[in-house]
Chains A and B, each alone.
Chain A
Amino acid sequence: MFATIKNRFATTDIEVKREDLYKVVVQRDAIFELIFMLREQYDYQTLNAITCCDWIEEEHFAITYILTTSDRKQSFMVQTMIGREDAQIDSLTHTFEQAEIMERDLHEMYGIDFPGNQNLVELSLENWVHTPPLRREFDTLEFVNNNLSFREGRDGNMDVKKEMKRLRALKKAQKAAAKKAKEEASEVSDGN
């Protein structure tokens, strides 16, 4: 199986992650061909999940299709990269019925478009107008600070690092003062 995939899709590497889990990364235009081949020839009948991971530094999303054989003993992660701007990849709903809801989820969370999926309506975020929340540029902390507030009465919080520094400086100063006082005292006694 590995040799066929390597030849046909010109990939260098098929990773064996565990006994029951393989992973391959292919070009974007070859991915559906590979999925269909796995499905027809190697009994990978079930689409378990479609996952997405945002690699913002490299300017792409990694979309992974996880397929499982019909005896459920082997899984295959088929991964491809798509650009972050106007992210878009064809829908799989014509082959796998359950892809509809998975794509709907990713559409809402990442703003990826799946041409061919008729039902990309909102899922759990009602009336959401900001950036799709799972994209890395969406900053949850900033959103919370802008939209929500802390409980009242929490302003007594001290910056501990500063406080430690201040106290240490204070102690040092006190010590120095004490030393000075001592020295002065001894000078006085010397003078006698």
Chain B
Amino acid sequence: MKWSIDISGTLSPLGILAAMMQKPNTIAYPAVKKETAVGYRGFHTNLLVDCIGCANCQDVCMNDAIDMIKTDKEYNVKNSSQCIPRIDYGRCCWCSLCTDVCPPDSLKLDEEYLGVTQYASDFLYMPKDK
């Protein structure tokens, strides 16, 4: 290949220097937080006064992420099995099918999505009651 100087091709990339004058695209994270969009599929919440313990959520979840368990919490009187769902976040893929099939719409996905823990057992997540 013959060598020839590509002048515009050499000079035009220098336009990138203009970016030094611009505001950065990133945010200063712990000080400024990014707003999560409404309807983001984050952690589960389960409104216990509504949950009827029907286990539809367990049936539809193909990742076997949901256990129906007994706790000492206050349930809905109509909760026919006296069980509520607990989710294994090691298996869940946040597909939100369980919330789609929940008859009283008690199970929902929340905007919150940050979870930090040092114990693997904390992956077994009890949905917040709200």
Contacts and interface: CB of A to CB of B under 8 A. Distances in A.
B120 A156 contact: no
A154 B67 CA distance: 7
A158 B121 CA distance: 19
Interface residues of B, number: 21
Contacts, number: 45
Contacts of B53: 160, 164
B82 A167 contact: yes
A168 interface: yes
Given A160-B53, A160-B58, A154 B81 contact: no
Contact of B69 (A156, A167, A168): A156
A158 B83 contact: yes
Contact of A158 (B81, B90, B91): B81
B47 interface: no
Chain B CB within 10 Å, residue with most, of A152, A161, A167, A168: A167
| Dominant secondary structure of chain A at its interface with chain B | loop
B124 interface: yes
Interface string A149-182: 0111110111011011001100000000000000
Nearest to A168: B80
Interface in B38-93: 53-55, 58, 64, 67-70, 80-83, 86, 88, 90-91
Interface of B: 53-55, 58, 64, 67-70, 80-83, 86, 88, 90-91, 120-121, 123-124
